[in-house]
Each structure stands twice: as structure tokens, then as C-alpha cells.
């Protein structure tokens, strides 16, 4: 199966199957599935308000999808994106609470990005160390650390950061300098009106992270070591790469990317510490990475799809009362199921269909056009019959009458050369002479025995027959020697005849 079919064809088929199953569920509750899909598309991309929310959700999915992809390339399964995003948001909130009165916006943005990445990487370091040094499974430890992060955030917001005298479990609001600029505010300065949405410049930082991940994985030595250790830890160790070191590095990068979700949510949207701001983005990132084939470009496209599902689902629940918010969650779960857990179930069927298409394409007879026979002109190139007919249909070019015909140049006078004298030949009949065992090997004639030059005298041929070697007496008791045969017969032709 070609690579383009694996990267694009298989995810599209999985998405279509998820939509078909979702449509059957919508049809079972008495609603029109086509109207639901249309309402979802209009709610996600119909206006600037829907586009803003779609890109805002897609920002979180890009961060978590990249985090899961980095771990996948290292042979790890990071399910701790939820907890790492929680702690990353905690780091961004701590920086904002500490420096929002003393720093301006851009230094606060830089500190917020660094704090969220460092806190997320620090939270992922403990499971990575346990996996590399103690053999603990990364899936178990990262799942448990999700609950630890949630419990830690509840404790801090209730006992440390809660506003005194308030029953709301949130921190105080940050100053304006600690907030990431909204996109609707930025494009409003250039005359483009856009409704208020939580989309902020963290989306631009997510796209930059995609480029950095691509450069790291496929254009750096560290990325090569990471992919090598993920494909074969034993081969990597034989090549001098430490799998334990790669495990820790991959989880640190993965945790830093997941922690940037907190930068988007805490500094970009809420601008205060709140509970449950991740909202399942860490688990959705697993499906995003699987659907995007762990490549940054595919992750961007899959994040836009899931962002459209989240935003469009809210619009469907508002437009069609029969479809509740729980039904939207079911539809999103089906897309995650077919794109994540069942991502490769349809691969054998797709490969079989591709082989069938290739075999039918190769067995299709190709039209053959009979060429013109080259018997009339062997040296002329062979052309197709259709080309010959086309050339024959064209009118022959006319020669202008005013042009005089070229006169042939006079042939040079023949030079008289003396004719070579005829060389008469004489045919001589000869017979094979069998020599005795003691006479020695016979010499092979230099020329054919029946072609001799006529310059030789007739006596030479006669003398050749008469000069036969005398017979040698055989000892008693041995077989008699073979009879001596006559030499070549004398030609009956007169001398000088050819």
C-alpha cells in the first residue's frame, strides 16, 4: 500500500465509518443525520465566531497530540497528558501571580511559556525515571500521576490560592500584563470585526511547536537517537545509544508540550487558576496523534477536525433539541474510537482492495496499433499505421515553378585501369592416404586438396603420387599393416585449362 494511502486514505475511511455509526444513532432517536452534520459544519466553520472557537480547541489538541507523538516515536505510551497539562497550568499561574504587577506583557508571556513547559516536564520526569531506572511501566505511572495532579490542584486552590471570604475555588484575577493577547483584539486594530472568542496567540505558539518538533525528530541527532531507540532498543544500545537516557529525554519533551496547554488555558483564556481547565484534552491527544500518524502536519489536521467536533457539537445541541449534549459526547467518542483504538482495523481490507485494483490495472489489455511493414523500405523507420494515415492525408508540398531544376554535375571521365589477368585454376581429385603406425603423423595440407594453382607443372602432381613412402615390415605375430592406397589421380585436363 502506498504511503499516501496510509497517511490520508485510512484516516478518512475511519472518519467516515465513525460518521456513519453516529448517523445511525441520530436516526435511531428520530433526528435527521444529514441535518445534524450540516449544523455541525456550519457551527464550526460557518462564521468567525465558530472558527475562533474551533481554533481555540485545536490549540490544546495540537499540544497534547505532539506530546503523545514524541512519546510514541520513543516507543512509549504517555497517557499522562492530563496531569502534565494541569501542572503546566499551575506553573503559568504561579508566574502570573508572582510577577503580574512588576513585568510587562511580553516578558510575562515568555515566562509563562517557560514555566508551563518546565512544570509539565518536571511532572513527567518522575514516571520517566521510574520507567528507565526501576522498570515501572510508563502507562501505569502516568495514569496514576493524572489523579495526583488533580488532587494537588484541588488542595492548592482550596487551601492556598483561594480568595479569602469567597466560596469559589479559583485564584484572584491576573493583571492585564499577564494575559496573552486575544486574536479578535489584534485583528480589530486593523479594521476586521470579529466576535469575542477565547482564541489567542497561543495558537501561533502551537504552530511554532509543530515546526520545532519536526526539526527535532527528522533533522537533529537527538531526534534520530529517539526514533532509533523507539524502533529497536537493542540495536540502539549496540550503536552506543542509551535507551534509558532516550526514555527520560522523550518524556521530558512530551511533558513540556503537554504543559503548554496550561499556558493556553490559564494565561490565554481564564487568566486565573481554575479547576478542570484541561477538560479531557490529554486523552483526546492520543486519538489526534494516532489519526495524524505522529507527524506534525497530520496532528494539525486532526486537531482541526476534533476542534470542529467540539465546537460544532455545541451548535448541534442548540439547533436540534432532540440531540442533547450527551449525544454529542457519544459522537465524539465514536470518532475517537475509530480513529484511535480501531485505527488499523481497516488496514487489511484497504490493502486487499489496493492489490485487487493493481491486479486489474495490470491485466487490462493495452491497445496495439499495427505498424507499417518495413519490407518495402528496410532502412526506413517503422511508424504506426495511424501516423502513416495522418501523414498520407496531408497534401504534398508544392515546388514553385519559378525555381529552376538543379542540373546534375558532369560525371568524371573513367580512368582506364588494366584488367586483372584471369587466374586459371585446376581441380585435382585426391584421395585420403592412410599411413601406417610407424610412419609418423601426416601433415595437414595448407590449402584445399581440390584447388591448386595452374602455375604448377603437371609433373608435380604426378611426382606427388609416385613419391610414396616404402612399406615397413611388420614383426611376426602382429596384424598386417593396412594396404597402401594410391596417391591423387592425375588430372585429365590439359595444362592451361581452367
Least confident interval from 152-161, 172-181, 417-426: 417-426
The answer on pLDDT for 468 being more than 50 is no
The answer to whether 106 touches 46, Cβ cutoff 8 Å, is no
Q: Kindly state the percentage of the chain with pLDDT values over 70.
A: 73
Q: How confident is the model at residue 326 (pLDDT cuts 50, 70, 90)?
A: confident
Least confident interval from 124-133, 146-155, 380-389, 475-484: 380-389
Q: How confident is the model at residue 389 (pLDDT cuts 50, 70, 90)?
A: very low
Q: How confident is the model at residue 465 (pLDDT cuts 50, 70, 90)?
A: very low
Q: How confident is the model at residue 125 (pLDDT cuts 50, 70, 90)?
A: very high
Which pLDDT value is given to residue 93?
95
- Could you count the other beta carbons within 10 Å of the beta carbon of residue 188? 13
Which pLDDT value is given to residue 266?
95
Higher pLDDT, 419 or 52: 52
The answer on pLDDT for 274 being more than 90 is yes
Average pLDDT over residues 395-415: 54
Least confident interval from 63-67, 70-74, 488-492: 488-492
Which pLDDT value is given to residue 463?
46
Q: How confident is the model at residue 405 (pLDDT cuts 50, 70, 90)?
A: low
Q: What kind and span of H or E run contains 227? A: helix 221-231
Q: How confident is the model at residue 325 (pLDDT cuts 50, 70, 90)?
A: confident
Beta bridge partners of residue 449, listed in sequence order: none
Report residue 216 as a C-alpha cell: 527535532
Report residue 7 as a C-alpha cell: 497517511
The answer on pLDDT for 380 being more than 60 is no
Q: How confident is the model at residue 455 (pLDDT cuts 50, 70, 90)?
A: very low
> Exposure pattern of 488-498 as b/e (b: 16+ CB <10 Å)?
beebeeeeeee
Query: Average model confidence (pLDDT) for the chain?
Result: 81
Which pLDDT value is given to residue 152?
95
- Provide DSSP, 286-338: HHHHHHTTT-HHHHHHHHHHHHHHHHHHHHHHHH-TTS-HHHHHHHHHHHHII
The answer on pLDDT for 427 being more than 60 is no
Q: How confident is the model at residue 323 (pLDDT cuts 50, 70, 90)?
A: confident
Report residue 357 as a C-alpha cell: 485494483
Contacts of 122 (CB under 8 A, 6+ apart): 87, 255
Q: How confident is the model at residue 454 (pLDDT cuts 50, 70, 90)?
A: very low
Contacts of 487 (CB under 8 A, 6+ apart): 430, 431, 433, 464, 465, 466, 468
CA atoms within a 13 Å half-sphere pointing along the CA-CB vector of 373? 2
Q: Is 61 exposed, middle or buried (0-12, 13-18, 19+ CB in 10 A)?
A: buried
The answer on pLDDT for 37 being more than 50 is yes
- Could you count the other beta carbons within 10 Å of the beta carbon of residue 338? 25
Report residue 101 as a C-alpha cell: 504587577
Which pLDDT value is given to residue 361?
87
C-alpha distance across the termini of the chain, in Å: 81
The answer on pLDDT for 120 being more than 80 is yes
The answer to whether 124 touches 252, Cβ cutoff 8 Å, is yes
The answer on pLDDT for 447 being more than 70 is no
Average pLDDT over residues 306-321: 88
pLDDT digits (tens, 9 = 90+) for 214-245: 999 999 999 999 999 999 999 999 999 999 99
Average pLDDT over residues 326-335: 85
Which pLDDT value is given to residue 165?
85
Amino acid at each position: 500500500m502506498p504511503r499516501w494511502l496510509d497517511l490520508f486514505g485510512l484516516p478518512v475511511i475511519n472518519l467516515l465509518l465513525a460518521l456513519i455509526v453516529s448517523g445511525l444513532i441520530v436516526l435511531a432517536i428520530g433526528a435527521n443525520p444529514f441535518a445534524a452534520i450540516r449544523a455541525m459544519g456550519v457551527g464550526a466553520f460557518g462564521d468567525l465566531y465558530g472558527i475562533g472557537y474551533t481554533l481555540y480547541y485545536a490549540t490544546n489538541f495540537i499540544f497534547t497530540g505532539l506530546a503523545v507523538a514524541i512519546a510514541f516515536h520513543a516507543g512509549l505510551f504517555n497517557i499522562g497528558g492530563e496531569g502534565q497539562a494541569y501542572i503546566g497550568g499551575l506553573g503559568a499561574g504561579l508566574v502570573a501571580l508572582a510577577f503580574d504587577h512588576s513585568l510587562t506583557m511580553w516578558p510575562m508571556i515568555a515566562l509563562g511559556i517557560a514555566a508551563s513547559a518546565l512544570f509539565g516536564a518536571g511532572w513527567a520526569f518522575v514516571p520517566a525515571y521510574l520507567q528507565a531506572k526501576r522498570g515501572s511501566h510508563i502507562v501505569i505511572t502516568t495514569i496514576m500521576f493524572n489523579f495526583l495532579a488533580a488532587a494537588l490542584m484541588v488542595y492548592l486552590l482550596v487551601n492556598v490560592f483561594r480568595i479569602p471570604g469567597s466560596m469559589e475555588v479559583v485564584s484572584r484575577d491576573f493583571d492585564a500584563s499577564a494575559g496573552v493577547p486575544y486574536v479578535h483584539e489584534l485583528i480589530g486594530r486593523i479594521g476586521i470585526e470579529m466576535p469575542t472568542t477565547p482564541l489567542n496567540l497561543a495558537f501561533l505558539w502551537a504552530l511554532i511547536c509543530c515546526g520545532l518538533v519536526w526539526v527535532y525528530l527528522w533533522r537533529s541527532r537527538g531526534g534520530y537517537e529517539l526514533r532509533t531507540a523507539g524502533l529497536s532498543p537493542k540495536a540502539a544500545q549496540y550503536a552506543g545509544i542509551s535507551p534509558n537516557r532516550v526514555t527520560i529525554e522523550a518524556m521530558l519533551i512530551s511533558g513540556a508540550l503537554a504543559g503548554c496547554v496550561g499556558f493556553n488555558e490559564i494565561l490565554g483564556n481564564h487568566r486565573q487558576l481554575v479547576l478542570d481547565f484541561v477538560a479531557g484534552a490529554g486523552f483526546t491527544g492520543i486519538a489526534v496523534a494516532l489519526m495524524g500518524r505522529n507527524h506534525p502536519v497530520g496532528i494539525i489536521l486532526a486537531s482541526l477536525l476534533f476542534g470542529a467536533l467540539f465546537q460544532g457539537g455545541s451548535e448541534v445541541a442548540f439547533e436540534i433539541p432532540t440531540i442533547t449534549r450527551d449525544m454529542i459526547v457519544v459522537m465524539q467518542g465514536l470518532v475517537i474510537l475509530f480513529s484511535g483504538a480501531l485505527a488499523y482495523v481497516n488496514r487489511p481490507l484497504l490493502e486487499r482492495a489496493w492489490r485487487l485494483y493493481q491486479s486489474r490495472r495490470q491485466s487490462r489489455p493495452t491497445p496495439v496499433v499495427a505498424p507499417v511493414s518495413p519490407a518495402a523500405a528496410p532502412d526506413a523507420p517503422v511508424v504506426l499505421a495511424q501516423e502513416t494515415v495522418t501523414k498520407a492525408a496531408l497534401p504534398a508540398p508544392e515546388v514553385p515553378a519559378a525555381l529552376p531544376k538543379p542540373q546534375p554535375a558532369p560525371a568524371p571521365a573513367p580512368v582506364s585501369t588494366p584488367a586483372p589477368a584471369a587466374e586459371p585454376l585446376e581441380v585435382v581429385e585426391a584421395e585420403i592416404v592412410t599411413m601406417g603406425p610407424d610412419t609418423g603423423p601426416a601433415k595437414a595440407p595448407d590449402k584445399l586438396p581440390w584447388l591448386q594453382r595452374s602455375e604448377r607443372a603437371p609433373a608435380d602432381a604426378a611426382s606427388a603420387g609416385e613419391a610414396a613412402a616404402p612399406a615397413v615390415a611388420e614383426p611376426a605375430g602382429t596384424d598386417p599393416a593396412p594396404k597402401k592406397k594410391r596417391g591423387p589421380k592425375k588430372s585429365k585436363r590439359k595444362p592451361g585449362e581452367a
